[in-house]
Amino acid sequence: MEEIAKDRSELLKPPKAGEIVRGRIIGRGRSSIFVDLGSWGTGIIYGKEFLLAKDLLKKAKEGDELFIKIVDLENEEGFIEVSALEADREISWLKLKEKRNTAENIMVKILGANKGGLLTTVMGVNAFLPVSQLSSANYPRVEDGDAMKILKELQKFVGQEMEVKILDLDPRGEKLILSEKIKETEKIKEILKDYKVGDIVEGEITGVVDFGAFVKFGADSLEGLVHISELDWQLIENPGDVVQVGEKVKLKIIDISNGKVSLSLRALKEDPWKTIEKTYEKGKITRGKITKFNPFGAFVEVAAKIQGLCHISEFGTRQKMEELLKIGSEYDFEVLLLDIKEHRLLLKLVL
């Protein structure tokens, strides 16, 4: 970043292209502004630079001081070409960097929304607030994760003000990323010192999404996530089939990191796999119902909350697999592998 000349004594030094200095307006033309640069001479903002900075300069008058950036040390008319807009941008980025380093809270007005988050400006710089950086209170909980439904929820914030902090910035790439939840995270980290992995807590389901469920728990209404894989021992397609918003539940804390709490419902349920070792020994024939196809093969329910996989390689192609098997129908299968610890059951269709 070019050095900013902060006082008149620095103006005695030879000017450099790209340097930001302070000047005083001494005159205006129809599409130009003349700036006194002391012993350096006279600077001029004109042409494209004048048009780009029109809004910035519309209230400027003779005698006003402003920061400008040296563009050309001498043009054909003998003036030093300068830019007010570039200087304003660079100074804005410097101030934004300072705000990030000091973790200063900033009030912004939401100007727009897209599927990824909210749009706003800070000190004239375009900024983005990702969905993932919204506070728990404002995070859009859409059950099926539909992008258009998420956008509809985000659009409700347009016109509203939010208190945020700067998460990241890149002046060269002109990227300014904001976070609403940073301040919340700092408070949560302090509260979480009273909890540890393995604790049992009681909570309430506050949101159901395609990847799991959000739960509020504890006296401070902390929020944690129950991943879809931690809802139950059985394979789950739709979390809404297992839990509902408003439902009271008991959970186990399985991870605490970076202010985030991971919870489990299934950890407090008896593991059905522990009792099936003799029933599904390698080589045994068992009856099972087809529940789902995926690129790896067919999922087969052999008992309540127990599903195995008949691998695609047993058929050669998915088309062949779907010709032989129908979802909802029952068939005989041979047990190829049972791994109780990893909850893996590999099967082969008995023809």
Tens-digit pLDDT profile for residues 104-122: 889 999 999 998 999 999 9
In this structure, are residues 226 and 264 in contact, taking their beta carbons and an 8 Å threshold?
A: yes
Please compute the mean of the pLDDT values over residues 266-276 and round it to a whole number: 89
- Please give the structure tokens belonging to residue 280: 């599904």
- Please give the structure tokens belonging to residue 283: 């080589």
Percent of the chain scored above 70 by pLDDT? Answer: 95
Asked if pLDDT for residue 33 goes beyond 90, the answer is no
Asked if pLDDT for residue 276 goes beyond 80, the answer is yes
Work out whether strand 260-264 and strand 222-227 pair parallel, antiparallel, or are unpaired. parallel
Q: Where is pLDDT greater, at 250 or 85?
A: 250
Asked if pLDDT for residue 6 goes beyond 60, the answer is no
Please compute the mean of the pLDDT values over residues 74-83 and round it to a whole number: 79
CATH no. of 187-268 = 2.40.50.140
Asked if pLDDT for residue 269 goes beyond 70, the answer is yes
pLDDT, position 82: 83
Q: What class is the 103-180 domain?
A: mainly beta
For the chain, the domains span 8-90, 103-180, 187-268, 273-349
Same fold, 103-180 and 273-349: yes
Please tell me whether residue 225 adopts helix, strand or coil conformation. strand
CATH no. of 8-90 = 2.40.50.140
Phi, psi of 65 (to 5 degrees): -100, 150
Taking the C-alpha atoms of residue 306 and residue 284, their distance in angstroms, rounded to an integer, is: 16
Q: Pick the closest to residue 34 from 72, 4, 64, 6 (CA basis).
A: 64
Distance of CA 282 to the CA centre of its chain: 45
Q: Where is pLDDT greater, at 25 or 178?
A: 178
Q: Where is pLDDT greater, at 171 or 262?
A: 262
Q: Where is pLDDT greater, at 7 or 223?
A: 223
pLDDT, position 84: 77
pLDDT, position 12: 56
pLDDT, position 3: 45
Reported confidence tier of residue 144, pLDDT bands at 50, 70, 90:
low
Question: Tell me, what DSSP letter sits at residue 209?
Answer: E
Reported confidence tier of residue 81, pLDDT bands at 50, 70, 90:
confident
Question: Tell me, what DSSP letter sits at residue 5?
Answer: P
Round the average pLDDT of the chain to a whole number and report it: 86
Asked if pLDDT for residue 17 goes beyond 90, the answer is no
Asked if pLDDT for residue 324 goes beyond 80, the answer is yes
Rounded to whole angstroms, what are the CA distances from 138 to 154, 219, 225, 262?
9, 20, 15, 20
Domain 273-349 fold is OB fold (Dihydrolipoamide Acetyltransferase, E2P) (2.40.50)
Question: Tell me, what DSSP letter sits at residue 114?
Answer: E
Reported confidence tier of residue 231, pLDDT bands at 50, 70, 90:
very high
**Worst-scoring range by mean pLDDT, 32-36, 226-230, 342-346?**
32-36
| Tens-digit pLDDT profile for residues 35-48 | 888 888 888 888 78
> 10 Å Cβ neighbour count for 165?
19
